[in-house]
Amino acid sequence: MDLYWITVVSLVTGMVNALNLTSNNQQSEIANLKQEVNDLTASVRNLTSALNHMQAEFQMLNSTLNKRQSVAFSACLGSSGRTLGPHQPVEFDSVLLNDGGAYDPRHGTFRAPVSGDYHFAVTFVNSPPLGSWIEIVRDGNQLVYTYADGNGNNVGSTQVNIRLEAGQDVWCRNAYVSGTITLHSSGKYSCFSGHIIS
């Protein structure tokens, strides 16, 4: 074999080896790229799953906030009047509204089902001849009070915004520590109401 053909065979063999090496390198790079794509696909799946989980939690929290417990009541004295002894609670027994079931008409007591800020109001009509003091109390401690003069059927009214912890009680009572009061006996003139603010 002459030198020319030896050179040609050598060059062709080198080129084939180079092509094989290049092909092997490309196949190796392709395999590496495929693995990177697979890894990125798995990461995207994990991130998508985490995002879906976070969205579900957000929707649950949003739903909970939107479904805040409704707490509101309004109750009046029934057809009969009330003569109350010292610090005796007023049993507003004719319930107009009791959302959340927190008002007990048997005792005239509201018990906070959840902690929050609440608004309470009382209006009453006095029966003569004596004046009447009514107070709104929290767990037996006076918050506010109002007076109606005894010269005729006069009106007393007051309201208050307060913070309550779950389980605390609010009611109205005769503010006198001695002596009785009489509330008007007909119509729903004397009422007690309250609701959660926030």
Amino acid letter at 132?
S
**58 shares its domain with 92:** no
Tell me, what's the pLDDT at 20? 65
**170 shares its domain with 155:** yes
Tell me, what's the pLDDT at 22? 65
DSSP 150-168: TTTT-EEEEEEEEEE-TT-
Tell me, what's the pLDDT at 67? 56
Q: For position 99, which CATH number holds?
A: 2.60.120.40
**31 shares its domain with 59:** yes
Top pLDDT among 48 and 132 is at 132
**129 shares its domain with 96:** yes
127, 184 Cβ separation under 8 angstroms: yes
**93 shares its domain with 151:** yes
**62 shares its domain with 114:** no
pTM: 0.67
Of 37, 67, 97, the residue that ends a domain is 67
Mean pLDDT over 34-55 rounds to: 78
**96 shares its domain with 179:** yes
- Assign 122 a pLDDT band (cuts: 50, 70, 90): very high
Mean pLDDT over 66-89 rounds to: 84
Task: Please give the residue range of the domain that contains residue 103.
Answer: 72-196
Tell me, what's the pLDDT at 52? 83
- Is the predicted pLDDT of residue 68 greater than 70, yes or no? no
**63 shares its domain with 89:** no
Helix (H) or strand (E) holding 46, with range, is: helix 3-66
Gap between the Cα atoms of 64 and 112, Å rounded: 19
**76 shares its domain with 63:** no
Top pLDDT among 22 and 94 is at 94
117: closest CA among 71, 157, 83?
Answer: 71
- Is the predicted pLDDT of residue 31 greater than 70, yes or no? yes
Gap between the Cα atoms of 32 and 24, Å rounded: 12
Of 67, 89, 106, the residue that ends a domain is 67
Gap between the Cα atoms of 104 and 111, Å rounded: 8
How many domains are contained in the chain?
Answer: 2
**96 shares its domain with 150:** yes
Of 67, 89, 110, the residue that ends a domain is 67
**49 shares its domain with 86:** no
* Dihedral class, residue 23 (left if φ above 0, else alpha if ψ from -120 to 50, else beta): alpha
61, 178 Cβ separation under 8 angstroms: no
pLDDT tens digit sequence for 132-167 = 999 999 999 999 999 998 888 889 999 999 999 999
